[in-house]
Amino acid sequence: MKQAWWKALVGKLAATASALLFLVLVPAAAAGQLPVWAAVVLGIAGLTILNGACGMLLPPQEKEEPATVPARPVQLRVVRGGRAA
């Protein structure tokens, strides 16, 4: 129980930190205070952090087995023209 709580807390903190990074990153890059290469590197890092945080917050998915259709014999009937339909 405690592990799930910590996992959710870390995920929420990482998502918030990533959002704050973007809020600071975009105006700094637009004003020219941050070099373009640094903005790209920090943007990629922010997306990676956000992706990890969202992955931690998702509930675990159970593996579903594909539904199998029971094999029934197909019955063909002869209609006008002598062809099976």
Query: Across residues 60-64, what is the average pLDDT?
Result: 77
Domain ranges of the chain: 2-56
Query: Across residues 3-29, what is the average pLDDT?
Result: 86
Of residues 67 and 12, the one with the higher pLDDT is: 12
Q: How confident is the model at residue 84 (pLDDT cuts 50, 70, 90)?
A: low
Of residues 25 and 68, the one with the higher pLDDT is: 25
C-alpha Rg value of the chain to the nearest Å: 28
DSSP state of 78: B
For position 85, what pLDDT does the model report? 52
Q: How confident is the model at residue 1 (pLDDT cuts 50, 70, 90)?
A: low
Report which secondary-structure segment, H or E, holds 20: helix 2-31
CA distance 54 to 7: 11
Which of 1-5, 19-23, 34-38, 63-67 has the weakest average pLDDT? 63-67
Tell me the three-class secondary structure of 35-64, residue by residue.
Answer: CHHHHHHHHHHHHHHHHHHHHHHCCCCCCC
